[in-house]
Amino acid sequence: MRIKTEAIGKTFNGKEVLKNISLEIEENRISCFLGPNGVGKTTLLRILNLLERPSQGKIYYDGKIYQRIDRLSLQRRMVLVAQNPVMFDTSLYHNVSYGLRVRRVKDTKRKIKQALEMVKLSGMENRSALTLSGGEMQRAALARALAIEPEVLFLDEPTHNLDPLSKEIIEDLILRSKAESRRTIVLSTHDLLQAEKLSHKVYLLKEGKIIQEGKAKEFFAFPSSSFSAEFLGIENLFKGRPIQRNGFSFLDLGKLKIEISPLEKIKQKDEVYASLRAEEILVSSQPLVSSARNSFQGKVIKMKNKGGLVELTVDCGIPFTVVLTKRSKDDLNLELGKKVYLTFKASAVHLMDSG
Amino acid sequence: MIEIVSFLDGEVLGIVLLSFRVSLTAIALSCLLSLPLSLLLALKNFPGRRVIISIINSLLAVPAVAIGLVVYLFLTRRSPLGALGLLYSPWAMIIAQGLLAIPIITSLALAAFQSVSRQIRETAITLGASSHQFILTIFRESRYSLIAVLIMGFARVIGETGMTMMVGGNIKGSTRVMTTAIALETMKGNFELAITLGIILLAVSLLIGVPLQLLQGAGKR
């Protein structure tokens, strides 16, 4: 099903949470709404799933404006899995069968079995759904949605606060869907890396507006824009060429080579984007002897107060942004122009998948 | 003991059965009004909703004897409904007990329906429930509380004495129920019958308390 919105907006109690959203959700592709909490991602998903009415604007499903379509038949072609899904007070089996039962679908047993296998909850059919753990509940909710075989699947922060196993199972399912390109999925996340990994197209939201759309890694092409720093909480963004030397992996940034976690396979010609959080970098006035693989000398070129913290920009050939407490800054006697050493682990550098 | 058991004859049995018939009918009829009303109040936001809820809550405080008086005045021969000849019939008791139960059931069922979270309701909608499937889901999700509501309403009306006597008249073989019989027999000094009925009434109250406890335990899971 094709979904198109035209200038939709939403106002709650006088507060505008969505402004002028125009987008076209591509069929059989995975789209992602990216942004921190409170930018309207959930509201947008809820509006697209008809759980909320937009205050302004129009929504078209397969080219037809939604008021002209029978609500129930439209609703039954799509489904939303909430960020914190809830279970009906019955067994897991009956939860997963709910959507099939209301549609009076035959052959429910096989579909439920398949859905539970997909989320690796087989054998738990008779468990009371209310006794499932958080991760199991999220997977159960996904199975409940998948059992319907919806044309459009909306996933609100599908892996938020989950245990690693559940996160992996859910990401794998979405990735398989991405490879097969057989279902339209719209998901939301605050995690840039996840957005890039899981989706074909990313919409970056800020204060209820779409400020950028395209592939997530393209957003890195504009590291100067303030969104990266404030918005995604990633202060250091690099573009470079991965290289392998003596069994170690490095990222060649031109003036600097930083060591990164070992790569399985490197395509020499590829340029990749990488991120490094300011909190991951240690500042010292003397070179540190440590297990961290990266240590560079640089000069403090900028200092900015941020609440109780100080944000430094240190020039080591390329600028790094570092955050430390006021006390640490005073202890180190930091001032503009002072020489310092920056140290960080290879594993703190996150590479963006360029595939 | 033999004496008490010997009272479990036709008369006692008739009194017990009438008590159940009257109170169960009263609860069933009040549910016809109370459950749709509380469902509406729980799910829809409309002008006047808060006013209706406050009225229902105030009605909870109305003493049963006042309801009995009102019903009496409406059913007495000279009143508009007098011609129906309902006063001193089981129907008079059913009407009075039903009126007593309406605010109780409405108010408690409203709380039960409201305890079904917005997330559950939206889950039903997003999974494709039609309006009546949606309502069935709300009922199913609040089933433990709802059964508790019905039991509480039933316990309240079957134990009602003064009001039931006012409109029923405590006529032997026609409108004599457990509570009115106990009151009468105690005053007459006929303790054997009073105690027999008292034990039965007590047993009923205790027995309906058991599933209530079990349900609350199950609901807490």
pLDDT at residue A225, rounded to an integer: 46
Q: Closest residue of A to B129, CA-based? A: A102
Domain CATH code at residue B56? 1.10.3720.10
B44 to chain A, any CB pair closer than 8 A? The answer is no
What average pLDDT does the structure give for chain B?
90
Kindly state the tokens that stand for A208.
Answer: 């209820």
Could you report the predicted ipTM of this complex, rounded to two decimals?
0.82
Q: Which two tokens stand for residue A251?
A: 């990222």
pLDDT of residue A223: 45
Give the residue-averaged pLDDT of B184-212: 88
- Which residues, listed in sequence order, are joined to residue A351 by a DSSP beta bridge? A274
Measured in whole angstroms, the distance separating CA A58 from the mean position of its chain's CA atoms is: 27
Residue A217's φ and ψ, nearest 5 degrees, are: -65, -20
Ramachandran bin of B120, using left for φ above 0, alpha for ψ from -120 to 50, beta for the remaining angles:
alpha
Report the gap between the CA of B122 and the closest CA in chain A (Å).
7
Kindly state the DSSP code that residue B89 receives in the 8-state scheme. S
Q: What's the number of domains chain B is made of?
A: 1
Indicate whether B1 pLDDT > 70.
Answer: no
Whether residue B194 contacts residue B186, with contact meaning beta carbons closer than 8 Å, is answered with: yes
The CA distance from A180 to the nearest CA of chain B, in Å, is 24
Extract the tokens encoding A305. Answer: 């107060």
Of B119, B120, B128, nearest to A102 by CB-CB distance is B128
Nearest chain B Cα distance for residue A203, angstroms:
23
Question: With 90 as the cut, is the pLDDT of residue B135 above it?
Answer: yes
Q: Which domains does chain A have, with CATH numbers?
A: 3-219 (3.40.50.300), 234-351 (2.40.50.100)
Q: Does A128 touch chain B (CB under 8 A)?
A: yes
| Alpha-carbon span A106 to A121, nearest angstrom | 22
A48 within 8 A of A59, measured Cβ to Cβ: yes
pLDDT score for B3: 54
DSSP-H helix ranges across B60-190: 64-75, 90-114, 118-126, 131-141, 143-158, 162-168, 178-188
User: B123 touching A, CB under 8 A?
Assistant: yes
CB contact under 8 A, B124 and A80: no
What are the pLDDT digits (tens) for B16-43?
999 999 999 999 999 999 999 999 999 9
Q: Distance (Å, rounded) from C-alpha B197 to C-alpha B204? A: 10
Q: Under a CB-based contact definition with an 8 Å cutoff, are residues B42 and B114 in contact? A: yes
- For residue A144, the chain B residues in CB contact (below 8 A) are 127
How would DSSP label each residue in A25-79?
EPTTSEEEEE--TTSSHHHHHHHHTTSS--SEEEEEETTEEGGGS-HHHHHTTEE
Strand stretches in chain A, DSSP E: 3-12, 15-25, 30-34, 56-61, 64-65, 78-81, 152-156, 184-189, 201-206, 209-214, 236-245, 248-252, 257-260, 272-276, 282-284, 294-306, 309-315, 319-325, 339-344, 350-351
Tell whether A71 lies on the interface with B, counting CB pairs under 8 A: no
Q: Which amino acid makes up residue A218? A: E
Q: Are the beta carbons of A80 and B130 separated by less than 8 Å? A: no
Give the range of the structural domain holding residue B88, as residue numbers without chain letter: 2-220
Of B119, B127, B130, the CB nearest to A98: B127
3-class DSSP assignment, residue B126: helix
pTM for the model stands at 0.77
pLDDT at A232: 62
Least Cα distance to A3 among A172, A188, A185, A134 occurs for: A185
> Between B120, B127, B221, which is nearest A99 by CB?
B127
pLDDT at B217 over 70: no
Which of B99, B30, B90 lies closest to B59, judged by CA?
B99
pLDDT at position B8, please? Answer: 62
Phi, psi of A202 (to 5 degrees): -120, 135
Q: Is B216 on the interface with A (CB under 8 A)?
A: no
CB atoms within 10 A of CB A8: 21
pLDDT per residue as tens, chain A (355 positions): 999 999 999 999 999 999 999 999 999 999 999 988 889 999 999 999 999 999 999 999 999 998 899 999 999 999 999 999 999 999 999 999 999 999 999 889 999 999 999 999 999 999 999 999 999 999 999 999 999 999 999 999 999 889 989 999 999 999 998 888 889 999 999 887 788 889 999 998 888 999 888 876 666 555 444 455 456 666 788 888 888 888 888 889 888 999 988 876 655 557 777 888 888 899 999 998 889 999 999 999 999 888 788 989 999 999 999 989 988 989 999 999 999 999 999 988 887 654 3
Question: Is the distance from CB of B144 to CB of B216 less than 8 angstroms?
Answer: yes
Is the Cβ pair B127, A131 closer than 8 Å? no
**pLDDT confidence of residue A352:** 67
